[in-house]
């Protein structure tokens, strides 16, 4: 039978006993077998977190989830931002970045062309998973990277169940989450109270909105003096980017900015102080440190 518009026809091979159970359940609900199967699938994926995954109930309040791919990331390490907003207060309450390592993608047979879609699916499912387990999803932290507590990169060793069975597909991973057969070995037990005030650029701020950053042209910035005012450091980084015709990666007190010859210095300075205000820290001296992307 031909599918209706925007649908496709699939053939399911079921054991006779299972088919009988489904038919009996559909009859009791006074719906067709097809509708009953569709309802079961939708309920399963809704619970997993990636059907109608834009809304979630957490700690007695309704939150909205929004996903955005990270445009500037190391080769072979795709990531997406996941923003949690409280519409009742018109406020963002948390931001996380989830991603995959190359080995994780190979293990689950994830095609590069689908990587961001799959990160979105799994990331939403993870947030729902933590929520079901009673964790405060506005204060999640991971101890995977020393300076970035709100980032989680799934690696090859994460493609296993609690019983150490290998996971070979996205469907198996989502099923393990739904059935409680997977646990996050890196999620922190304690959470910092100020995480819900972290802005969307807490870990990574890209000021080149209209173009991709060429990672081969990004260099680390080290200020000329060990202690320097933030305004002086930003101007120095800007002059370095102009002189060497490159993009500078500027790390200051957990805020990362990419600065090139087209950057606006005043906007950069304002963005820094906005970030520090959100974090509740009011000092203006920095000690520059290298910020390597996690590989």
Task: Count the neighbouring beta carbons within 10 Å of the beta carbon of residue 181.
Answer: 16
Mean pLDDT of the 138-147 span? 85
- Cβ atoms of 124 and 82 within 8 Å: the answer is yes
Distance CA 12, CA 5 (A): 20
pLDDT at residue 284, as a whole number: 38
pLDDT at residue 288, as a whole number: 36
The predicted-structure confidence for 210-239, as pLDDT tens digits, reads as follows 344 455 567 777 777 766 777 888 888 889
pLDDT at residue 215, as a whole number: 53
Give the confidence band of 206 by pLDDT, cuts at 50, 70, 90: very low
Nearest-CA neighbor of 25 among 182, 14, 211? 14
- Cβ atoms of 147 and 291 within 8 Å: the answer is yes
Length of the chain measured in residues: 295
The answer, yes or no, to whether residue 292 has pLDDT greater than 70, is: no
The answer, yes or no, to whether residue 259 has pLDDT greater than 50, is: yes
Tokens 């950069």 identify what position? 268
Mean pLDDT estimate for the chain: 75
pLDDT at residue 276, as a whole number: 61
HSE-CB at 107 with a 13 A cutoff on CA atoms is: 17
The predicted-structure confidence for 12-61, as pLDDT tens digits, reads as follows 888 888 888 888 888 888 888 888 888 777 666 555 444 445 678 777 77
pLDDT at residue 210, as a whole number: 34
The answer, yes or no, to whether residue 267 has pLDDT greater than 70, is: yes
The answer, yes or no, to whether residue 110 has pLDDT greater than 90, is: yes
Select the more confidently predicted residue: 4 or 220. 220
pLDDT at residue 226, as a whole number: 67
Give the confidence band of 106 by pLDDT, cuts at 50, 70, 90: very high
Mean pLDDT of the 184-189 span? 81
Select the more confidently predicted residue: 192 or 88. 88
Give the confidence band of 116 by pLDDT, cuts at 50, 70, 90: very high
- Cβ atoms of 100 and 78 within 8 Å: the answer is yes
The answer, yes or no, to whether residue 190 has pLDDT greater than 90, is: no
pLDDT-wise least confident of 73-82, 233-242, 251-260, 270-279? 270-279
Own/partner contacts of 65-73, CB < 8 Å, gap of 24 or more, are: 65/124, 65/127, 67/120, 67/123, 67/124, 69/116, 69/119, 70/97, 70/99, 70/204, 71/206, 71/212, 71/213, 72/204, 72/206, 72/212, 72/213, 72/215, 72/258, 73/99, 73/293
């Amino acid at each position: 039978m031909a599918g209706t518009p925007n649908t496709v026809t699939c053939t399911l091979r079921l054991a006779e006993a299972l088919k009988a159970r489904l038919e009996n359940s559909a009859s009791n609900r006074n719906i067709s077998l097809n509708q009953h199967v569709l309802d079961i699938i939708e309920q399963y994926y809704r619970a997993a977190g990636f059907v109608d995954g834009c809304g979630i109930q957490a700690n007695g309040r309704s939150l909205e989830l929004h996903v955005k791919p990270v445009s500037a990331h190391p080769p072979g390490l795709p990531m997406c931002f996941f923003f949690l907003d409280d519409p009742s207060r018109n406020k963002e309450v948390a931001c996380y970045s989830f991603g995959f390592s190359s080995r994780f993608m190979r293990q689950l047979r994830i095609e590069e062309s689908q990587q961001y879609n799959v990160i979105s699916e799994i990331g939403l499912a993870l947030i729902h998973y933590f929520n079901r387990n009673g964790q405060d999803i506005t204060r999640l932290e991971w101890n995977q990277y020393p300076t970035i507590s709100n980032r989680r990169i799934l690696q090859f060793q994460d493609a296993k169940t609690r019983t150490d069975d290998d996971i070979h597909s996205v469907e198996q991973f989502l099923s393990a989450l739904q059935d409680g057969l997977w646990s996050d070995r890196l999620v922190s037990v304690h959470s910092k109270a100020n995480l819900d005030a972290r802005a969307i650029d807490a870990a990574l701020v890209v000021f080149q909105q209209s173009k991709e950053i060429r990672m081969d042209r990004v260099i680390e910035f080290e200020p000329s003096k060990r202690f320097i005012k933030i305004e002086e450091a930003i101007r120095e980084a800007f002059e370095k980017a102009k002189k060497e015709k490159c993009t500078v990666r500027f790390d200051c007190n957990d805020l990362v900015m990419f600065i090139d010859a087209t950057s606006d210095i005043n906007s950069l300075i304002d963005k820094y102080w906005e970030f520090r205000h959100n974090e509740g820290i009011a000092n203006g001296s920095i000690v520059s440190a290298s910020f390597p992307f996690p590989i």
